[in-house]
Chain A
Amino acid sequence: MNLSIATDLFPLLAGILAALVCGLLGNFLVLRKLSLMGDAISHSVLPGLVIAFLLTASRNPLPMFIGATIAGVATALLTEAIKRFGKVDPGASMGVVFSILFALGVLLIEQAAARQIDLDADCVLHGQLETLVWYAAPDSINALFSTETLRDVPRQITTLSIALAAALAAILLLFKELRLAAFDPALATALGFNATALHYLLMILVAAATVASFEAVGSILVIAMLVCPAATARLLTDRLPAQLWVSAAAAVAAATLGYLASIAIPAALDKPAVNAAGSMTLAAGAILTAAILISPTHGVLARAIRRQRLARTVAKEDLLATLYRAQENGQHEVTTTLLKAVTGRSLAATIQDAQRQNLLTIHKGNAALTPQGTHAARQLVRKHRLWEHYLVGKAGIAPDHVHDTAERLEHTNIEPATAQSPATDPHGRHIPPPA
Chain B
Amino acid sequence: MNPSNATPENNATSLADVSTAWPSLEDTLRVLTLRAGFNTNTVVAGATLLGLAAGVVGVFALLRKRSLVTDALSHATLPGIALAFLAATALGYTGRSLPVLLTGAAVTGVAAIACIQLILKHTRLREDAAIGIVLSVSFGAGVVGLSYIQSNAAANAAGLSKFIYGQTAAMSVADATFMGVIAAAAIAAALLLHKEFALVCFNDAFAKVGGWPVAAIDLAMMTLVVLVTVAGLQAVGLILVVALLIIPAVAARFWTQRLSRLLVLAGALGALSGYLGATASALLPRQPAGAVIVLTAGTIFTISMLFAPRRGVIANTARHARLRLRIAGEHLLEAAHDHARDHPHTPHLDRATRYSIARQRGWHPAALAAITALLVARKRLATTRRGLTLTPRGAADGARVRRNHDLWTAYLIKHADVAPNHVDWSVDQVEHVLSTELIAQLEDELQTQPQTETRART
Interface residues of A (CB under 8 A from B): 30, 33-36, 38-39, 43, 51, 54-55, 57-59, 82, 85-89, 91-96, 99-100, 102-104, 106-107, 110-111, 113-123, 125-126, 128, 131, 215, 218, 220-221, 223-224, 226-228, 230-231, 234-235, 262, 266, 271-272, 274-275, 277-282, 284-285, 288, 292, 298, 300
Do A275 and B147 touch (CB < 8 A)?
yes
* Interface-centre pick from B67, B144, B161, B253 (highest chain A CB count, 10 A): B144
Q: Quick one: which of A89, A92, A275 contacts B144, CB cutoff 8 A? A: A275
Do A92 and B246 touch (CB < 8 A)?
yes
Q: Which of B259-303 contact A (CB under 8 A)?
A: 285-288, 290-292, 294-295, 297-298, 301
Q: Does B139 contact A (CB under 8 A)?
A: yes
Produce 1/0 per residue, B135-148, CB < 8 A to A: 11101111110111
Do A281 and B139 touch (CB < 8 A)?
yes
A85 neighbours in B (Cβ, 8 Å): 305, 313, 316-317
Do B292 and A107 touch (CB < 8 A)?
yes
Produce 1/0 per residue, B221-247, CB < 8 A to A: 000000000000000000110110011
Do B135 and A223 touch (CB < 8 A)?
yes
B360 neighbours in A (Cβ, 8 Å): none
Do B11 and A58 touch (CB < 8 A)?
yes
Q: How far is the CA of A88 from the CA of B316 in the complex (A)?
A: 14
Q: Quick one: which of A116, A227, A277 contacts B6, CB cutoff 8 A? A: A116
Do A292 and B122 touch (CB < 8 A)?
yes
* Interface-centre pick from B7, B141, B246 (highest chain A CB count, 10 A): B246
CB distance from B301 to the nearest CB of A (A): 6
Tell whether A100 pairs with B247 under 8 Å between CB atoms, given A43-B239, A107-B295. Answer: yes
Interchain residue pairs with CB less than 8 A apart (13): A88-B250, A88-B253, A92-B68, A100-B297, A102-B240, A116-B6, A118-B5, A120-B2, A123-B2, A220-B136, A224-B133, A228-B136, A278-B144
Do A89 and B65 touch (CB < 8 A)?
yes
* Interface-centre pick from A58, A87, A92, A121 (highest chain B CB count, 10 A): A92
Q: How far is the CA of A266 from the CA of B147 in the complex (A)?
A: 11
Do B131 and A271 touch (CB < 8 A)?
no
A300 neighbours in B (Cβ, 8 Å): 122-123
Closest to B138 in A: A285
Q: Which of B318-362 contact A (CB under 8 A)?
A: none
For chain B, which range describes its interface: under 10, 10 to 19, 20 to 34, or 35 or more residues? 35 or more
- Extra contacts, 5 of them, besides A33-B128, A231-B129, A275-B147 (Cβ < 8 A), are A35-B132, A91-B65, A95-B242, A99-B243, A103-B295
Q: Quick one: which of B3, B12, B13, B246 contacts A96, CB cutoff 8 A? A: B246
Do B242 and A92 touch (CB < 8 A)?
no
Q: Quick one: which of B4, B139, B239, B249 contacts A117, CB cutoff 8 A? A: B4
Do B291 and A226 touch (CB < 8 A)?
no
CB distance from B71 to the nearest CB of A (A): 6
Do B128 and A35 touch (CB < 8 A)?
yes
B122 neighbours in A (Cβ, 8 Å): 292, 300
CB distance from B118 to the nearest CB of A (A): 9
Do B164 and A86 touch (CB < 8 A)?
no
Q: Which secondary structure characterizes the binding site on chain B?
A: helix
Q: Quick one: which of B7, B129, B253 contacts A30, CB cutoff 8 A? A: B129
Do B124 and A86 touch (CB < 8 A)?
no
Tell whether A285 pairs with B67 under 8 Å between CB atoms, given A106-B290, A116-B10, A128-B2. Answer: no
7 A-B pairs with least C-beta separation: A281-B140, A285-B137, A99-B243, A278-B143, A224-B136, A275-B147, A103-B294
Do B13 and A115 touch (CB < 8 A)?
yes
Do A292 and B119 touch (CB < 8 A)?
yes
Q: Does B165 contact A (CB under 8 A)?
A: yes
B305 neighbours in A (Cβ, 8 Å): 82, 85-86
Do A103 and B291 touch (CB < 8 A)?
yes
A106 neighbours in B (Cβ, 8 Å): 165, 240, 288, 290-291
Do B139 and A57 touch (CB < 8 A)?
no
Q: Does B125 contact A (CB under 8 A)?
A: yes
B286 neighbours in A (Cβ, 8 Å): 110-111, 113-114
Q: Quick one: which of A59, A111, A128, A223 contacts B136, CB cutoff 8 A? A: A223
* Interface-centre pick from A33, A96, A277 (highest chain B CB count, 10 A): A96
Do B161 and A122 touch (CB < 8 A)?
yes
Q: How far is the CA of A5 from the CA of B316 in the complex (A)?
A: 62
CB distance from B225 to the nearest CB of A (A): 13
Q: Quick one: which of B15, B132, B250, B292 contacts A39, CB cutoff 8 A? A: B132
Q: How far is the CA of A230 from the CA of B124 in the complex (A)?
A: 13
Tell whether A128 pairs with B1 under 8 Å between CB atoms, given A36-B132, A106-B291, A220-B136. Answer: yes
Q: How far is the CA of A404 from the CA of B298 in the complex (A)?
A: 57
CB distance from B119 to the nearest CB of A (A): 7
Q: Does B126 contact A (CB under 8 A)?
A: yes
Q: How far is the CA of A106 from the CA of B18 in the complex (A)?
A: 16
Do A92 and B62 touch (CB < 8 A)?
yes
Q: Does B60 contact A (CB under 8 A)?
A: no
Q: How far is the CA of A228 from the CA of B140 in the complex (A)?
A: 12
CB distance from B1 to the nearest CB of A (A): 6
Q: Which of B49-73 contact A (CB under 8 A)?
A: 62, 65-68, 70-71
A224 neighbours in B (Cβ, 8 Å): 133, 136-137, 140
Q: Quick one: which of A58, A88, A104, A122 contacts B291, CB cutoff 8 A? A: A104
CB distance from A101 to the nearest CB of B (A): 9
Q: How far is the CA of A98 from the CA of B246 in the complex (A)?
A: 11
Q: How far is the CA of A94 from the CA of B342 in the complex (A)?
A: 56
A284 neighbours in B (Cβ, 8 Å): 136-137, 140
CB distance from A39 to the nearest CB of B (A): 6
Do A275 and B146 touch (CB < 8 A)?
yes
Q: How far is the CA of A138 from the CA of B137 in the complex (A)?
A: 35
Q: Does B255 contact A (CB under 8 A)?
A: no
Q: How far is the CA of A288 from the CA of B142 in the complex (A)?
A: 18
Q: Does B432 contact A (CB under 8 A)?
A: no
Do B4 and A96 touch (CB < 8 A)?
no
Q: How far is the CA of A410 from the CA of B15 in the complex (A)?
A: 76
Q: How far is the CA of A358 from the CA of B246 in the complex (A)?
A: 64
Q: How far is the CA of A116 from the CA of B141 in the complex (A)?
A: 32
Q: How far is the CA of A34 from the CA of B67 in the complex (A)?
A: 15
Q: Does B152 contact A (CB under 8 A)?
A: yes
Q: How far is the CA of A95 from the CA of B294 in the complex (A)?
A: 12
Do A285 and B133 touch (CB < 8 A)?
yes
Do B140 and A91 touch (CB < 8 A)?
no
CB distance from B28 to the nearest CB of A (A): 19
Q: How far is the CA of A113 from the CA of B17 in the complex (A)?
A: 13
Produce 1/0 per residue, B381-424, CB < 8 A to A: 00000000000000000000000000000000000000000000
Produce 1/0 per residue, B180-202, CB < 8 A to A: 00000000000000000000000
Do B11 and A99 touch (CB < 8 A)?
no
Tell whether A227 pairs with B291 under 8 Å between CB atoms, given A118-B5, A128-B2. Answer: no
Q: Which of B127-173 contact A (CB under 8 A)?
A: 127-129, 131-133, 135-137, 139-144, 146-148, 151-152, 161, 164-165
Closest to A111 in B: B18
A43 neighbours in B (Cβ, 8 Å): 239
Do A282 and B311 touch (CB < 8 A)?
no
Do A277 and B143 touch (CB < 8 A)?
yes
A279 neighbours in B (Cβ, 8 Å): 140, 144
A226 neighbours in B (Cβ, 8 Å): 132
* Interface-centre pick from A33, A94, A103, A280 (highest chain B CB count, 10 A): A103
